[in-house]
Structure 1
Amino acid sequence: MSAYAIAHLQEAAPHREIAEYIERITDTFAPYGGRFLVHGAQHEVKEGSWPGHVVVIGFPSLARARAWWGSAAYQEIAPLRSRHIEGDIILVPGVAEGYDATTTARAIRETLPPR
């Protein structure tokens, strides 16, 4: 099942280390099957507040996403970003092939008290 690394990064002033991080990050994906799905795109806020930038990286599995995050190659360059850009980063599994949201709704309804 696919998995995703999702980052919500705050605005930051341009810096050489940020440029170096961006230049080097793609090479860290290769052993784990990762690839950018969203990077550098302007997002459109429909509800709430979402300042900054969104990055989404796809992986073939959560295990591969975790392995990439913990890899020596990524950990070596991570400070180039984190010293200059604050943000939140999560790893999240995707849904299985054929996922049906009505199954989730049914499970929620089963926990509700009778009317």
Structure 2
Amino acid sequence: MTAYVIAHLQDAAPHTDIADYIERLPGTMAPYGGRYLVHFAQHEVKEGSWPGGVVMLGFPDIEAARAWWDSPAYRELAPLRKRHIKGDIIMIDGVPEGYAPTAAVSAIRQAAAAAS
């Protein structure tokens, strides 16, 4: 099941460290099957506020995403980003092919009924 690393990045200051980070990042992801899905593409805010930009990476599964994040190659590279860009980063499992939210709906209905 595909896993995702999603970064909501803000206040990206232009710096050569950032250029180095972006240039070297694909090489750290390749051994784990990682790839860019979104890279600071223009986004439309429909509700709330969403300053900054989004980077989204895809990996074959959560184990591969974790292995990449914890890899010596990425751990060496991460400070280049962290010194110059604020943001939040999450790692999340996707849903399987054909997923239906039926179980989630049932759980919500049961919780709502219990709270009444």
TM range (shorter): over 0.9
**How far, CA to CA, are the matches of 1:12 and 1:98 in structure 2?**
38
* 1:3-42 map, 5 Å: 3-42=3-42
**How far, CA to CA, are the matches of 1:103 and 1:13 in structure 2?**
44
Which whole-Å deviations, capped at 9, do the CAs of 1:56-110 have from their partners, x for residues lacking one? Answer: 0000100000000000010111000000001000100001121102331122112
User: How many residues are aligned here?
Assistant: 115
Question: CA-atom RMSD, angstroms?
Answer: 1.2
Per-residue deviation, 1:12: 1.9
Q: Any idea what SS the aligned residue of 1:107 has?
A: helix
**How far, CA to CA, are the matches of 1:81 and 1:60 in structure 2?**
24
Structure 2: give runs of 5+ residues left out of the alignment.
none
**How far, CA to CA, are the matches of 1:4 and 1:113 in structure 2?**
34
TM-score of the pair, normalised by structure 1 = 0.95
Corresponding position of 2:96: 96
Divergent runs of 4+, >3 A = none
Q: Any idea what SS the aligned residue of 2:113 has?
A: coil
**How far, CA to CA, are the matches of 2:28 and 2:102 in structure 1?**
38
User: Which range moves more in the overlay, 95-104 or 54-63?
Assistant: 95-104
CA contact (8 A) 1:11 1:53 kept: no
